[in-house]
Amino acid sequence: MPDTQLIAISPVTPYHIWLAVVAISSLSYLTYLVQLYRPVKGGALLSALLGGAYSSTATTVVLAKRQKEAVTRRPELSAGIIAATAIMYPRLAAVIAFFSPPIAVVLLPGLGFLFTVAAAISWWEWRKIQPSYADDLAIPAANPLQLTTALIFAVVFLAVSLATAWVQSVFGQTGIFTLAALVGASDIDPFVLSLAQGGAPGMSLSAVAAAVLIAASANNIAKAAYAIGFGGLAATERPAILLSALALLGFAAAAAYLV
């Protein structure tokens, strides 16, 4: 693929788009293959972790729906929601490190701290219950190597990359932070990949790290809302509160990078 800029205001190139699609599709496809050919037995938590490696947002929605459908409250589903979010942090670190090791190094303390807290919360929730219904917790995932899936991601990545460049040129660093909070309501991968590939060249490494943490934290708030929306307040109040707490910690970590 040609490595030449598509437009003057943005550093994105066809090569950047192709590489982003390959990176995300490969990571997701590995999880997809495990779920497809090696069904997880005897461990609902592991199922949630695999789902989180594919998409923590999708995992949250699926587990919240199953919590709502359950005759009685199933605490392992709530623990699974937090576990899926915990795995989001090393997933982000791996993706960013592939494109920009310097950004990954700067981000490592923040992502490591949030992962440790999320993992501890998940473990604390899990130790209080007796896991059950493990066989029905596999998170369904579409084949990420389908042409339609890849094209949609490529289009979204291009749109987010152009939006990032425009926002920075008009509103500067504050605009990037605002955009990070807005993209958190959906898939943050295109935004994070855009930053990792130099989508905001005028920002320092610390500022880029802060933007990534803002996007991840905003995504946690969105997942808290999705949990309540798809699972009901009574069934998913606890994981929603815990996700919101993780979001606040993430925003605090982002602020620490800007001090």
Query: 164 or 24, which is more confident?
Result: 164
Q: In the prediction, which pLDDT does 115 show?
A: 96
Closest CA to 78 of 90, 66, 88: 66
For the beta carbon of residue 172, count every other beta carbon within 10 angstroms: 13
Query: 182 or 127, which is more confident?
Result: 182
Query: 48 or 155, which is more confident?
Result: 155
Q: In the prediction, which pLDDT does 146 show?
A: 63
Rounded CA separation 141/55 (Å): 9
Query: 66 or 95, which is more confident?
Result: 95
Q: What angle do CA 186, 174, 193 make, to 5 degrees?
A: 45
Cβ proximity of 246 and 119 under 8 Å: no
pLDDT-wise least confident of 77-81, 150-154, 246-250: 150-154
Indicate the pTM of the whole model: 0.84
CB-neighbour burial class of residue 108 (10 A; exposed 0-12, middle 13-18, buried 19+): middle
Q: Which two tokens stand for residue 185?
A: 């309501």
Rounded CA separation 15/20 (Å): 9
What type of residue sits at position 176?
I
pLDDT in tens, 183-232: 988 889 889 999 998 888 889 999 999 999 999 999 999 999 999 998 88
Res. 133: pLDDT tops 50: no
Query: 27 or 197, which is more confident?
Result: 197
3-state secondary structure 228-240: HHHHCHHHHHHHH
Res. 243: pLDDT tops 60: yes
Q: What is the pLDDT confidence band of residue 80, given thresholds at 50, 70 and 90? A: confident
Average pLDDT over residues 167-174: 90
pLDDT-wise least confident of 122-136, 152-166, 179-193: 122-136
The Cα-based distances of 42 to 24, 83, 131, 133, 173 in angstroms read: 28, 16, 8, 8, 47
Residue 77 half-sphere exposure, CB side, CA atoms within 13 Å? 25
Query: 254 or 159, which is more confident?
Result: 254
pLDDT in tens, 38-47: 555 545 567 7
